[in-house]
Amino acid sequence: MSLRQFAAAAVVTATFGFAVSPAHAVTEIQWWHAMTGGNNDIVNRLAEEFNASQSDYKVVPTFKGAYPDTLNAGIAAFRAGTAPHILQVFEVGTATMMSAKGAIKPVYELMKDAGEPFDPKAYLPAITGYYSTSKGDMLSFPFNSSSMVMWINKDELKKAGVAEIPKTWPEVFDAAKKLKAAGHDTCGFSNAWASWANIEQFSAWHNVPIGTKANGLDGFDTVLEFNTPLHVKHLQNLVELQKDKTYDYSGRGSASESRFGSGECAIFLTSSGYYATAKSTAKFDFTSAPMPYYPDAPGAPQNSIIGGASLWVMGGKSADEYKGVAKFFTFLSDTNRQAKLHQESGYLPITKAAYEKTKADGFYEKNPTLQTPLKELTNKEPTENSRGLRFGNMVQMRDVWAEEIEAALAGKKTAKDALDSAVARGNAMLRTFEKTAK
């Protein structure tokens, strides 16, 4: 490089260097998240909009892999003393996070310390309840929430001679048999998220407990009890129908959701967050309906519970950094922003005002699919069994429960034995967790 080139390069660097750094120091807020695809774009856009809206803080989003990876990255970073300010954690990591006192800064405290306007009553209780203490103090900030709904391929149902969208489990079984007779050999109906569907949502929707102490919300000394006759009956039904694939198992996660989009399964239970994908892949007329229930179960249907993820604020940061995080949360809670986010992404709105605004705009008349999860969540006043759940080790426990469901479906165990064993193994894990979470 000649001297002249060097000088030119130095001038360019200097110019741009000064242009980028503003007159006063900007506080950076690190935000680690697990959003991919279109949701990743939304995260980046939110950060950009926030950064453009003020000049004191800069939110820097970083993708850290799938939900468990992001949680582990956050934990490892905390142990190394380099935790981000905001960590997105999926709903089943809630107990792990809240038990880590000192590692986290509860949101209600954060907002109070920062002097940001914050009214917990402005948020939808069905959503914030999952992330609050039993006293109603909000611990983490709900970001992307969804619930489980039943996706329906209307074209195929019509072809199979099913006139109405089934409401109860017996009606679903009948419809599935008709679908199978009409050529759906490999799948009458199915569901993603084996444990979330058949244990967690199923229990809340039927107003039966998953565990004692309000499903663990009131304390870590909770004991699982989802091996009731109702649970056994449901699993037994699935086992019977699995034999000729009137029901066909689709795994523990969401990887098999495409069985609905491809037309293979015409009735499919999965997250309401599947909306965006369904819209872009399904080449048929589809809709979503509330989850089915057993009509002989007293009080069913109750209300569903949420899934998704929330934003946790990590501990040990400066007051100025917390001020920035609090401002960012206020920014996210803005009614217009929430309503827009909900209508574009299919995530549930987290504030009552955003829900009311979307209703008032007449959005749901055109998009009834997006209202199904909200109707489910607000179907009835939540009970001890349907407010949410909070079990330690839940990430792995879901896999353990799914293992037992798989054993029953493969014919290795009876439905009763499988659920008994799921409860026993889960309880052992809860006791281990209880010892570490003091």
Partner 1 sequence: MEKSVVFNGKLLPYVLLAPQLAITLIFFYWPASQAIWQSFLREDAFGLNSEFVGLENYQALFAQPEYYTAIGTTVVFSSLVTVLSLGVALLFATQADKNLKGASAYKTLMIWPYAVAPAIAGVLWFFIFHPTLGTLARPLRVMGFDWNPMLNGTHAMVLVVMAAVWKQVAYNFLFFLAGLQAIPKSVIEAGAIDGAGPLRRFWTIIFPLLSPTTFFLLVVNIVYVFFETFGIIDAVTSGGPAGTTTTMVYKVFADGRLGGDLGGSAAQSVVLMVIVIALTAIQFRYVERKVQY
Binding stretches for partner 1 (CB under 8 A)? 68, 72, 75, 78-79, 96, 99-103, 186-187, 242, 249-252, 255-256, 258-259, 262, 264, 393, 395-396, 399, 402-404, 406-407, 409-410, 412, 425, 429, 432, 435-438
70: left (phi over 0), alpha (psi -120 to 50) or beta: alpha
Contact 285, 54 (CB under 8 A): no
As measured in angstroms, the least distance from the Cβ of 403 to partner 1 is 5
Distance of closest approach, residue 318 Cβ to partner 1, in angstroms = 20
Q: How far is the CB of 98 from partner 1 (least distance, A)?
A: 11
> Is the Cβ of residue 57 or residue 433 nearer to partner 1 in the bound state?
433
d(CA 312, CA 98): 9
Query: Which run of H or E residues covers position 41?
Result: helix 37-53
| Shortest CB 130 distance to partner 1, Å | 20
Amino acid at 301: P
Tokens 């000064």 belong to residue: 18
Closest CB 161 distance from partner 1, rounded Å: 24
State the DSSP string of 82-110: ---SEEEEEGGGHHHHHH-BTTEE-HHHH
Backbone angles phi, psi at 105, to 5 degrees: -120, 110
Quick one: 101 or 112, whose CB is closer to partner 1?
A: 101
Q: Is the peptide bond before 301 cis (omega within 30 degrees of 0)?
A: yes
Q: Which is nearer to partner 1, 36 or 186 (CB)?
A: 186
Q: Which is nearer to partner 1, 257 or 321 (CB)?
A: 257
CB of 338 to partner 1, least distance (A): 31
Based on CB atoms, which residue is closest to partner 1, 240 or 356? Answer: 240
Report the residue number, 376 or 404, with the smaller CB distance to partner 1. 404
Q: Name the one residue in this structure whose structure tokens are 């992001």.
A: 70
The bridge status of strand 86-90 relative to strand 27-33 is: parallel
Q: How far is the CB of 360 from partner 1 (least distance, A)?
A: 41
Q: Which C-beta is closer to partner 1: that of 170 or that of 253?
A: 253
Nearest one of 200, 201, 204 to 382, comparing CA atoms: 204
In angstroms, the CA 62 to CA 76 distance is 15
| Rounded CA separation 123/153 (Å) | 33
